[in-house]
Amino acid sequence: MNAITRRVTLGLAALTAPTLGRAQTLKPASLRLDWALSGYHVPFFWAKEKGYFAAEGIDLEIRDGAGSAKAASLVSSKEDTFGMVEALVTANSIARGMKLRSIYMVVQNGGAAIVSWAAKPMKTPQDMVGRSLAAAADQKPQLDLLLAMNGIPSDKVTLRVVAVAARNQVFFQGQVEGIVSTVIGSPMDMIVAAREGRGQPIHIMPFSDFGVRSLAQGFVVHEDLARENPEQVRGFLRACTKGIRDCMAPGNLDAATDIAMQLSRAPSTRRESVKLQWEATIPRLWTEANKDKPLGWTSEADWANLVDLLLKQQAIPAAVPANTLFTNAFIPA
């Protein structure tokens, strides 16, 4: 072996040894989603498929969810490593004693909406009087707050609290006149169905237009993980951020949607709505408070607003310091 060959061989060994070592020591971890596949989940399936989590030493399993409250509970009990949880649920859970911390806000500007048929729309909260709605259990507090902030007694609206899978069904069957949904969630499915002639046009009334503006979906971890293994948390967020940035590129939109559909095993009929959900998410990755900050960064003012909303709906007995709910310490620069 000549000197040049020897140097090249040693150089390749130096480059590949850490990679092999990392591949052999991947640490299992799980991400519990808030619901089944939605558009704002697409970047994390992309990051898994592209090996971004593995490159950080993480063998990540992405698991479907059954609501934010369930995801928070599973992370609190350490059955899942990371959880995607709606911010109001995060604040409420921490205020009630769960040892959680928000580490990254994916959807900064989203939140709930009333979805009704365009033929008889609910355009304002006053239009809800005498009408019927369906909502999942962890959506009810936000609905109560919307009614209270707009001076509408709760007994003036008929509410059915149902499982999220049943919520849309009772709406389609005409058993209720509207539903509470995430702005970038089920409504996108319905918009696509109407475009394709499989459904009727809908109207979307965002809560944020009528006084209930809040952060939306983000990641939480148990406080023990944040304290004991901060590098795993940082690695997870580096991979997620890389996935988000990749998926923001228009040229990756179709491929990313296909990867998410395949890995999540979502029904093929949902492809176009999942794609539309992610397109609608991209402008919601920032608010005025963080428009010059890295992806995932949140302001104390936005969290303080969340605490104020919870106090107004009497969901928590007393105020909690906003800085106990979140940290930006793990956000990739």
List the chain domain ranges: 26-109+215-324, 112-210
The share of the chain scoring above pLDDT 70, in percent, equals 93
pLDDT score of 145: 86
**Domain 112-210: which topology?**
D-Maltodextrin-Binding Protein; domain 2 (3.40.190)
pLDDT score of 154: 92
pLDDT score of 24: 56
How far is residue 195's CA from residue 281's CA, in Å, rounded to a whole number?
20
Question: Helix (H, G, I), strand (E, B), or coil: what is residue 161?
Answer: strand
Q: Quick count: other Cβ atoms within 10 Å of Cβ 23?
A: 13
The pTM of the full predicted model, rounded to 2 decimals, is 0.84
pLDDT score of 15: 39
pLDDT in tens, 273-330: 999 999 999 999 998 888 899 999 999 999 998 898 888 877 888 899 999 999 999 9
pLDDT score of 110: 76
Q: What are the residue ranges of helices labelled H in the chain?
A: 3-24, 42-49, 52-55, 68-76, 87-95, 140-149, 164-172, 186-195, 223-228, 230-248, 253-264, 271-281, 300-312
Give yes or no on whether 26-109+215-324 and 112-210 have one common fold.
yes
26-109+215-324: in CATH 3.40.190.10:
yes
188: amino acid identity, one letter: M
Which segments in the chain show pLDDT lower than 50? 1-23
